[in-house]
Amino acid sequence: MTADHPEVSLVVPCHNEAENLSALYERVLAVMNQTEKSWEMICVNDGSKDDTLDRLLALHHKDPRVVVIDLSRNFGKEAALTAGLDHTRGDCAIPLDADLQDPPELIPELLTKWRDGYDVVNAVRLSRKGESWLKRASAHAFYRFINRMSDIPIPEDTGDFRLLSRPVLEALSKLPERRRFMKGLFAWVGFRTTAVYYHREPRLSG
Ligand code: UDP
Ligand code: MG
């Protein structure tokens, strides 16, 4: 821990995730203890209609490393993630879904690649347990379409779950786009990039 900022910032967009937050916190806590890195977990409440905000505030009171941002309404995941990334203070940031589909247990592998000198470490899904044939097929078609349209390929089977170094975060924060598709921007900014692989679990609850 440097005096005034943590080494790792986790960023979690949260829309109606009340039932998932304590499990998320426990798993993050166990993993981050194991890494021995200082950390913060920035949780962005994106206009939830359930108890998400109260649960987040309770976590913050228990553990001030949990930082809460409360958006004024539901802006959608891309905007929530952008708001969270803009508030990170860490030397790197890791976006993470609240529903535990992005396993926190992969974080040590992301950090190892970062230590090896990579600025972007993508977490690539090997399977989509619990997702229908239709969802898998439509996701595949989506990437084929996007990658035909664009010069910068967006890696298929990669969500927002990845590690971004501070130089990447600075580059992202300078982009003027107001309506953001983060996966596209993550690929567009470039930098030394690698990947680690994992099996995607079904959404925990909700
Ligand atoms: N999310 C959000 N705002 C929204 C929709 C979703 O912040 O309007 C969050 C949600 O709470 C979760 C992440 O974005 O942490 C991914 O959402 P979801 O699990 O619904 O998406 P999928 O797993 O289908 O990609
Ligand atoms: Mg999900």
pLDDT tens digits, one per residue of 171-180: 998 887 777 7
Ligand having the closest approach to the CA of 15: 1
DSSP state of 86: H
**Ligand 1 centroid vs 190 CA: distance in angstroms?**
25
Report yes or no on 170 lying in a domain. yes
Quick: pLDDT tens for 54-111: 999 999 999 999 999 999 999 999 999 999 999 999 999 999 999 999 999 999 999 9
CA 38 to centroid of ligand 1, rounded, Å? 26
Instruction: Calculate how far, in angstroms, residue 58's C-alpha sits from the geometric centre of ligand 2.
Output: 23
As a whole number of angstroms, the distance between CA 111 and CA 142 comes to 30
Nearest ligand, measured from the Cα of 14: 1
CATH number of the domain that residue 175 is part of: 3.90.550.10
69: containing domain:
8-200
Tell whether 205 is covered by a domain.
no
Residue 146 CA to residue 96 CA, distance in Å, equals 23
pLDDT digits (tens, 9 = 90+) for 104-158: 999 999 999 999 999 999 999 887 666 778 887 888 887 777 777 777 777 777 8
77 lines ligand 1 (CB under 6 A): yes
Q: Identify whether 131 is part of a domain.
A: yes
Place of tokens 């969270």: 84
Count of the separate structural domains present in the chain: 1
Residues 6+ apart with CB under 8 A from 167: 119, 191
Residue 10 neighbours by CB under 8 Å, 6+ apart: 28, 39, 40, 41, 42, 93, 94, 95, 96, 107
